Structure 1
Amino acid sequence: MPPLPEESLPPDDDLAAQAAETIARGSQSFATAARLFDPVTREGALLLYAWCRHCDDVVDDQHLGFNRDVAGPGTPEERIAALERLTRRAFAGEALEDPNFRALQRVARRHGLPLSLALAHLDGFRMDVEGRRYRTIEDTLDYCHHVAGVVGTMMSMVMGAREAATLQRAADLGLAFQLTNIARDIVPDALAGRLYLPADWLAEVGLDPEGVALPENRGKVAVLAARLVALAEPYYASARIGIDALPRRSAWAVATAHGVYRAIGTEVVRRGPRAWDTRVSTSRAEKLSQVLRGAAVAARRRGDDAPRPSGLWCHDQPR
Structure 2
Amino acid sequence: MNGPATFSESEIFSPYEDSAATLAKHGKTFNWARRFLGKENGDKAAQLYAFCRYLDDLADDGLAHGHARIEAMQKKLSGDTIAPGQMDEFSRFLDFANNNQLSLPALNELLVGLVGDREPAELQSEADLLCYAYRVAGTVGVLMSSVLGCHDEDAFAHAIDLGIAMQLTNIARDVAEDARMGRRYIPADWCADLSAAEICKAAADDTETEISHLVQLSLYRLLRLADKYYASGFQGLPYLPTRARTAIAVAGRAYQAIGHGMRHKNFHSWSSREVTGTATKIVASFSALIDVRFRYTKKVKHASELQKHLIGLPHVRSSHC
Give, as a single letter, the amino acid of the residue that structure 2 aligns with 1:188: E
Provide closer, same or farther for how the CA distance between residues 42 and 157 of structure 1 changes in structure 2, counting only shifts above 3 A. same
**Correspondence 1:260 to 2:254:** yes
- Distance in structure 2 (CA, Å) of the matches to 1:298 and 1:193: 40
**2:143 counterpart of 1:154:** yes
**What residue number does 2:212 align with?**
218
Q: Determine the C-alpha separation between the residues in 2 that align with 1:261 and 1:305.
A: 23
The offset of 1:209, in angstroms, is: 4.8
Q: Which whole-Å CA distance do the structure 1 matches of 2:197 and 2:123 have between them?
A: 14
Secondary structure in 1 matching 2:154: helix
Q: State the Cα distance separating 1:276 from its structure 2 match.
A: 3.1
Q: CA deviation at 1:172?
A: 0.3
Matched with 1:57 is: 57
- 1:243 maps to 2:237: yes
Tell whether the 8 Å contact from 2:238 to 2:299 is kept in structure 1 after alignment.
no
Corresponding residue to 1:84 among 74, 80, 84: 74
Alpha carbons 1:35, 1:42 under 8 Å: kept: yes
Aligned partner of residue 161 in structure 1, secondary structure: coil
Q: Which residue of 1 aligns with 2:129?
A: 140
Q: Offset of 1:41 from its aligned partner?
A: 1.4
Tell me, yes or no, if the aligned pair for 1:120 and 1:146 is still in contact at 8 Å.
yes
Whole-Å separation in 2 of the counterparts to 1:259 and 1:130: 32
Counterpart-to-counterpart distance in 2, 1:81 and 1:16: 20
After TM superposition, give the deviation of residue 25 of structure 1 in Å: 0.7
Which shows bigger deviation, 104-113 or 245-254? 104-113
Picking from 135, 144, 157, the partner of 1:168 is: 157
Residue 187 of structure 2 is matched in structure 1 by 198
Distance 1:103 1:251, change over 3 A: farther
Check whether the contact 1:202–1:208 (CA below 8 A) recurs between aligned residues: no
2:103·2:142 contact (CA, 8 Å) conserved in 1?
Answer: no
* Structure 1 residue ranges without an equivalent (≥5): 1-13, 63-71
Cα deviation code 1:161-189 (max 9, x no counterpart): 12211111000000000011101111110
Contact 1:172–1:239 at 8 Å: present in 2 too?
yes
Deviation at 1:239, TM superposition (A): 1.1
Question: Does the CA-based 8 Å contact 2:234-2:296 persist in structure 1?
Answer: no
The one of 274, 279, 290 equivalent to 1:285 is 279
- Residue 160 (structure 1) shift: 1.6
The 8 Å contact of residues 87 and 101 in structure 1, kept in 2 or not, is answered as: no
| 1:24 paired residue number | 24
TM-score, normalised to structure 2's length? 0.81
Q: How many residues align?
A: 292
Gaps of 5+ in 2: 1-13, 203-208, 314-321
Matches for 1:78-117 after TM superposition, within 5 Å: 78-85=68-75, 101=90, 104-117=93-106
**In the superposition, relative to structure 1, how do residues 98 and 37 fare at CA in structure 2: closer, same or farther (>3 Å)?**
farther
Shift of the 98–317 alpha-carbon distance from structure 1 to 2, 3 Å rule, reads closer
Aligned equivalents of 1:283, 1:99: Cα separation in 2: 39
- Paired letter, 2:248: V
CA distance in 2, matches of 1:298, 1:15: 36
Query: Which is worse superposed, 137-146 or 34-43?
Result: 34-43
Per the alignment, in what secondary structure is the counterpart of residue 188 of structure 1?
Answer: helix
Q: Corresponding residue for 2:43?
A: 43
Structure 1 Cα separation of the partners of residues 15 and 157 of structure 2: 29
Give the whole-Å Cα distance in 2 for the aligned partners of 1:84 and 1:116: 10
C-alpha separation between the residues in 2 aligned to 1:97 and 1:47?
21
Distance 2:17 2:286 in 1: 27
Deviates more, 1:270-279 or 1:165-174: 270-279
Deviations 1:259-306 (A, max 9, x none): 111100111222234323431011111112222332332333644333
The TM-score, its normalising length taken from structure 1, stands at: 0.82
In the other structure, the counterpart of 1:185 is: 174
1:208 Cα shift? Answer: 4.5
Contact 1:124 1:143 in 2 (8 A): yes
CA RMSD after TM alignment = 2.9
Instruction: Verify: 1:128 aligned to 2:122, yes or no.
Output: no
Question: For the structure 1 residues 278 and 100, does the alpha-carbon distance in structure 2 shift closer, same or farther, using more than 3 Å as the test?
Answer: farther
CA distance in 2: counterparts of 1:182 and 1:231, whole angstroms:
12
